[in-house]
Structure 1
């Protein structure tokens, strides 16, 4: 463990584990405040691509910092074997836990999606696409404020320079990514649309028994609203879902357009 990290923070119990490392709770020796420390074992990095992703995560988090709905980064330390990123601590359950056992009312869903899309729009205005938005990466702090996390797949973009590469997670990945096409930041809006659909319906919009079947369903992008689960969902909510889960990227809403939709501006009351 980095001497500089231990000088500034007391490193406590493990609170999470990922592909390249471990997340610990740590306490600032100066303020006594608790934080999360993501410690990445550089010896587990297989190639230069892995190393580039790890370096990029902390840099992109700094670019998008300052928004209340994005996990804040405070310090970065590095020693011979590890990279340590000190971040805001989110102790409450993530969105995956919250949507696993229940559906949301429209007003509850609107509150979550508004905060999420505000975070996404903030990233996009700063030229950063998250590219792996899913319920597991949507955290909540002790005050129940939503925090978008895990920028390990994020990438900078420009309008004249589309992105490429297969990233994302089954159910939530946009069809243009799976098709191997170049794509833009609207892949994040698609992922948010999938999350909204699941919150309202309790089931994903594109389903399969295996990853391959899920990908095939996403590529077809045949959006349906089964009456058995959407009978009480408003036409305004379904209109927004159609605009977020639109296979034609040129017609798919941007994050800023989502924020201006009547269902969002009314708090899910239309």
Structure 2
């Protein structure tokens, strides 16, 4: 093999390797520098970053340049490393037809028929967004109807505590739902991280959820039907370490510092709250429906009993979420889905000791008014917003007589109740039944 053939083979190998190497191994493009082969003392070919032939007369001058010029050159190389890294990253992103102005940046998650990406607007109008890419060619008519229903509902919604729909694009094989990006992600991992939320942070979260629900119920006539921590997103907030940490409660050994709470801003890095995922939502106004749907652990009794229901199912779900925020595990959980549904149907929950011992009576009373089996006696959104714990009023509160006696007492831990969320990791949900949907695709009726 001739020397020239050896050089050509090495160049070809280098080109192929560069397609899969990380950006740290890439040679940056700089106008006065290029990759040039040379021969080392052993006679083996190697590659080095060298000056071009036209720069030879300038070598002496370059040797006497000031250090600041050398720093600028190093920074130039660093910048070009970043450019090269971005180019390589783009090649790794899949190419979808019909995306147009949206440039995929990072994959955030995936589902049975979809992938979710962080993307940016090439026109710079919206900055970064989240794009839900659905493989419509794999869907049946019911699943497609569900997507179109979700988009139609979101088009008519505009509230600061609800993820905003930016655009909806269809191609022959894919549907693209372009959404407001919530950089904090889902609330569930934050509950796991912090073990449970303080009353201040719990109130900060649930009040914003309630404002979104109030808007949906009173302004849009929409029932969400799937309120749960996985569908509550947030924007990050500045974190300030606690100045006077509170004494540890049972199970606090691994609890991270929630930090100082700032009114209207939050704590624990959790700021503005936004509810998402309207795939199970429905416009009902003051009518009732009977379509079974939702996530079992947060599903209202009237749904598990296959009865007609209305907006009260969202209030029940809010009660489950508030309970979970305050103590770190959900009110209804069991390994057996049959036992779980019976507990829900009877409203059988308990303020477990010692996990609820440090939680104020008004907070417990509010939860009790939300987890009422009879939807007619359950708090509506107006009553929720007027409760003293929400209004920070000093009025006396009482536990509702509608909940079972078991819930009115501090109970002892039993084997049927879950450990805190951080000790139970099943499909990113508190326990197996919680992540099981009664019906993943509701009818469109």
| TM-score higher than 0.5 | yes
Report what 2:347 is aligned to: 221
Query: 2:393 & 2:198 partners in 1: Cα distance?
Result: 11
**Alignment of 1:108 onto 2:201:** yes
The within-5 A match list for 1:163-242 is: 163-242=289-368
The within-5 A match list for 1:131-142 is: 131-142=225-236
The size of the alignment, in residue pairs, is: 265
Asked whether the equivalents of residues 205 and 223 of structure 1 are also in contact (C-alpha less than 8 Å), the reply is yes
Report what 2:216 is aligned to: 123
The runs of 5 or more residues in structure 2 that have no matched partner are: 1-95, 238-270, 397-445
Query: 2:307 & 2:151 partners in 1: Cα distance?
Result: 27
Asked whether the equivalents of residues 343 and 349 of structure 2 are also in contact (C-alpha less than 8 Å), the reply is no
Query: 1:43 & 1:166 partners in 2: Cα distance?
Result: 26
- Computed over aligned residues only, the root mean square deviation of the Cα atoms, in angstroms, reads 1.8
Query: 1:170 & 1:34 partners in 2: Cα distance?
Result: 34
Report what 1:266 is aligned to: 392
Report what 1:85 is aligned to: 177
Greater CA drift, 131-140 or 201-210: 201-210
TM-score (normalizing by structure 2): 0.57
SS in 1 for 2:289: coil
Query: Deviations 1:51-86 (Å, cap 9, x if unpaired)?
Result: 11110111111222x211110011111111111111
Report what 1:57 is aligned to: 150
Query: 1:226 & 1:92 partners in 2: Cα distance?
Result: 30
Q: 1:191 Cα deviation (Å)? A: 0.7
Query: 1:81 & 1:178 partners in 2: Cα distance?
Result: 36
Report what 1:13 is aligned to: 106
2:279 to 146, 152, 174: 152
Report what 2:369 is aligned to: 243
The runs of 5 or more residues in structure 1 that have no matched partner are: none
TM-score (normalizing by structure 1): 0.93
Q: Which has the higher contact order (CA 8 A, sep 6+)?
A: 1
Larger Rg: 2
